Amino acid sequence: MTTTTAPAPARAGRGAPRLRTRKKYSSDKPRRSALLTVVTAVVGLYSLIPLAWLFINATKTQSDLFDSFGLWFSGDFALFTNIADTLTYDDGIFVRWLGNTLLYVVVGAGGATLLAVLGGYGLAKFSFPGKKAIFAIVIGAVAVPGTALAVPTFLMFSQMGLTNTPWAVIIPSLISPFGLYLMWTFAADAIPTELMEAARMDGANEARTFAQICLPLLAPGIVTVLLFTMVATWNNYFLPLIMLKNPDWYPLTLGLNAWNAQAATAGGQAIFNLVLTGALLTIIPLIIAFLLLQRYWQSGLAAGSVKE
């Protein structure tokens, strides 16, 4: 009986290829940083403390606001009573301000989103003379703050007789250079040109190609622009301040500021709890909108950031 032994492996020379085995490094696992965790916790706490203070003080009665510690509840939980008083104070003017704000957001922010989608799609997928000039104008408009244009806008609208009307707030809100630029860059990467050419070869016209092929692909970008324009319109303060004099057309920001000025007087401190409750009711719709549209918002911001 003979036995065979396996030949010993030859040593690899300088020119022989070496087989490398993949080592498991610690980078294969999610890295945890104690410093980053602490910094994130501090930033999160810093962001949540004002909201917690607002919610806690909105649950207090007027007498408990100045008698108890600001970051702790008092004996009486008066949140629902404060909400009812806020909605019924001064013949329900807060409800009127809420309706005005919704009007400005739906018409102004919705219209700005629609124009940004149409303009961004056209600039991204069509070539025409003057496209580079339009790009420079859009970039320049993004760099100009809105407060710098408030006074010229007021002078122009006063000559047209539109001040102290809802149009004085809605029309300027329809223009969103940042939204146009965002949709421009998003549409350039989100819509393949080959897909549009295939739809045209199948007999689809431009309107059908946009509505049935391109619009679903633009959904994340549309939601992102809608969130930006909605927040900007909802929190708009300076433009309504110089455009509106009639309190019946005030948005929530201007109305709550009027209540706060009234509460600062000697005889108006009795409504300070209504100011806090109104501020709490003002931010709730924005929080709900962000929570519902968060996944679309994140995907819209990340679109085009990675090339295959």
In tens, the pLDDT along 202-261 reads 888 989 999 888 998 898 889 989 999 999 999 999 999 999 999 999 999 999 999 988
What whole-number distance in Å separates Cα of residue 294 and Cα of residue 4? 68
pLDDT score, position 43: 92
148-206 pLDDT per residue, tens: 888 899 999 999 999 999 999 999 999 999 999 999 999 998 888 898 889 888 888 98
Q: Is the dihedral of CA 80, 84, 89, 95 positive or negative?
A: positive
Burial of 9 (0-12, 13-18, 19+ CB in 10 A): exposed
pLDDT score, position 306: 42
Nearest CA among 218, 216, 210 for reference residue 190: 218
Q: When comparing pLDDT for 26 and 168, which is higher?
A: 168
What whole-number distance in Å separates Cα of residue 168 and Cα of residue 161? 9
What does the pLDDT average to over 276-296? 87
Residue 131 is encoded by which pair of tokens?
């496209």
Phi, psi for 245 (deg, rounded to 5): -120, -30
Burial of 264 (0-12, 13-18, 19+ CB in 10 A): exposed
| Cα–Cα distance list, 124 to 4, 117, 128, 196 (Å) | 72, 10, 11, 13
Phi, psi for 187 (deg, rounded to 5): -65, -30
Least confident range of 4-18, 121-135, 248-262, 293-307: 4-18
pLDDT score, position 19: 46
pLDDT score, position 304: 45
**Number of neighbouring beta carbons within 10 Å of residue 22:** 6
Relative orientation angle of helices 177-190 and 110-125, to the nearest 10 degrees: 50
| Cα–Cα distance list, 283 to 38, 92, 94, 262, 273 (Å) | 27, 19, 14, 21, 16
Rounded to 5°, the CA angle 59-60-64 comes to 165
- With tokens 């309107």, the residue in question is 207
Q: When comparing pLDDT for 69 and 285, which is higher?
A: 285
Query: Given a cut of 70, is residue 18 above it in pLDDT?
Result: no
pLDDT score, position 226: 92
pTM, to two decimals: 0.80
Are 209 and 160 contacting, i.e. CB atoms less than 8 angstroms apart? no
pLDDT score, position 266: 56
- 92 sits in the region (left: phi over 0; alpha: psi -120 to 50; else beta) called left
What whole-number distance in Å separates Cα of residue 113 and Cα of residue 233? 12
Confidence band of 142 (pLDDT split at 50, 70, 90): confident
What does the pLDDT average to over 255-275? 82
What whole-number distance in Å separates Cα of residue 74 and Cα of residue 71? 10
Q: Is the dihedral of CA 88, 92, 96, 101 positive or negative?
A: negative
**Number of neighbouring beta carbons within 10 Å of residue 198:** 13
Size of the chain, expressed as the number of residues it contains? 308
pLDDT score, position 30: 62
Domains and CATH numbers, the chain: 47-77 (no CATH), 91-302 (1.10.3720.10)
Residue 304 is encoded by which pair of tokens?
């085009």
pLDDT score, position 95: 95
Query: Given a cut of 50, is residue 25 above it in pLDDT?
Result: no
Burial of 261 (0-12, 13-18, 19+ CB in 10 A): exposed
62-73 pLDDT per residue, tens: 888 877 767 788
84-114 pLDDT per residue, tens: 999 999 899 999 999 999 999 999 999 999 9
